[in-house]
A = this chain, B = another copy of it.
Amino acid sequence: MGLHRSTAGEAMNENGRTPYDPHAFEPFAVTVDLAVFTVRESRLHVLLIRRGQDPYAGAWALPGGFILPRECAEDAARRELAEETGLSQESAAALHLEQLRTYSDPDRDPRMRVVSVGYTALVPGLPEPRGGGDAAHAQWTPVGALPELAFDHARIIADARERIRAKLEYTCLATAFCPPEFTLGELQQVYETVWGVELDRPNFRRKVLASPGFVEPVEGAPRRTGGRGKPAALYRAGTATTLHPALLRPERRSEGERSE
């Protein structure tokens, strides 16, 4: 970490001041930005807010905000997540939240030096969730129809999508998109939506059930109907976090595949 170099060509102190005085060097603002995803109507959506303040005022942006003096980045992200989804702290604590990467381009904010820690959150397909205090400023937007975004937020969303795509293969992440109890059909929809492919249901079923700890049946359970068709058995997320064997996505398409 910082303040521990003593070789030649010193990085700090290039303004001649000692680095031990908190106000001596040019300060950095440190924020968190959240890419909150959900699956609705077989499409991947991301939560956007409309900016009120000036740089990019009126533009869409990711929710986020400052890290407080006594907060770690994860706490700040969790706090923002609760505020922006309108959930209680307790409900938000159960959501999947993971650090993505940090964005530090010196020009990413025109006002001053702002370093932002990006987070990815996954929420179940709540019927119509909206923001906390300000009810209408947050909105689910299909990732295939993103507007122009403030700052480098388009990049953050792209990075987050790529991360999610990859992690579905070898982790149990997909259950984070599902409500506490779900059917294998719903779970499959998550995969198909995020990957943009169709999967063979019998094979999908076998692979999921063969992965120890991925899902566990809700025993003696009522069976939920999704309209027509045979009622499906319910499952809940298991205890495993990684998948063995992995659930590989089909066809190694050349690269592209950005359609949504």
CA distance A90 to B51 in the complex (A): 42
Q: What residues of B have a CB within 8 angstroms of the CB of A30 in the complex?
A: 2, 28, 30, 104, 115
- Are the C-beta atoms of A2 and B19 separated by less than 8 Å? no
Q: A29-B28, A69-B106 are in contact. Are A53 and B3 (CB under 8 A)?
A: yes
A1 close to chain B: CB less than 8 A: yes
Partner of A152, one of B1, B76, B134: B1
A140 close to chain B: CB less than 8 A: no
**What residue in chain B is nearest A8 (Cβ atoms)?**
B133
Stretch from A59-67, A178-186, A201-209 contacting the other chain: A59-67
Tally of chain A residues near chain B (CB < 8 A): 77
The smallest C-beta distance from A43 to any residue of chain B, in angstroms, reads 26
Stretch from A95-103, A187-195, A216-224, A228-236 contacting the other chain: A95-103
- Are the C-beta atoms of A1 and B101 separated by less than 8 Å? no
- Are the C-beta atoms of B69 and A3 separated by less than 8 Å? no
Q: What residues of B have a CB within 8 angstroms of the CB of A105 in the complex?
A: 72
A94 close to chain B: CB less than 8 A: no
Q: What residues of B have a CB within 8 angstroms of the CB of A53 in the complex?
A: 3-4, 6
A68 close to chain B: CB less than 8 A: yes
- Are the C-beta atoms of A66 and B12 separated by less than 8 Å? yes
- Are the C-beta atoms of B104 and A101 separated by less than 8 Å? no
The smallest C-beta distance from A56 to any residue of chain B, in angstroms, reads 8
Select the residue from A1, A11, A117 with max chain B CB neighbours within 10 A: A1
- Are the C-beta atoms of A27 and B31 separated by less than 8 Å? no
A165 close to chain B: CB less than 8 A: no
Q: What residues of B have a CB within 8 angstroms of the CB of A2 in the complex?
A: 29-31, 64-66, 109, 114, 116
- Are the C-beta atoms of B20 and A23 separated by less than 8 Å? no
Partner of A3, one of B27, B74, B111: B111
Q: Mark A145-158, 1 if CB is under 8 A from B, else 0.
A: 00000111100000
- Are the C-beta atoms of A102 and B103 separated by less than 8 Å? no
Q: A29-B28, A30-B30 are in contact. Are A3 and B115 (CB under 8 A)?
A: no
Partner of A114, one of B3, B7, B64, B76: B3
Could you show 21 A-B contacts with beta carbons less than 8 Å apart? A1-B108, A1-B151, A2-B29, A2-B114, A2-B116, A3-B31, A3-B55, A4-B55, A7-B83, A7-B131, A8-B134, A11-B66, A11-B80, A12-B66, A22-B113, A27-B27, A28-B115, A70-B106, A73-B104, A99-B102, A102-B102
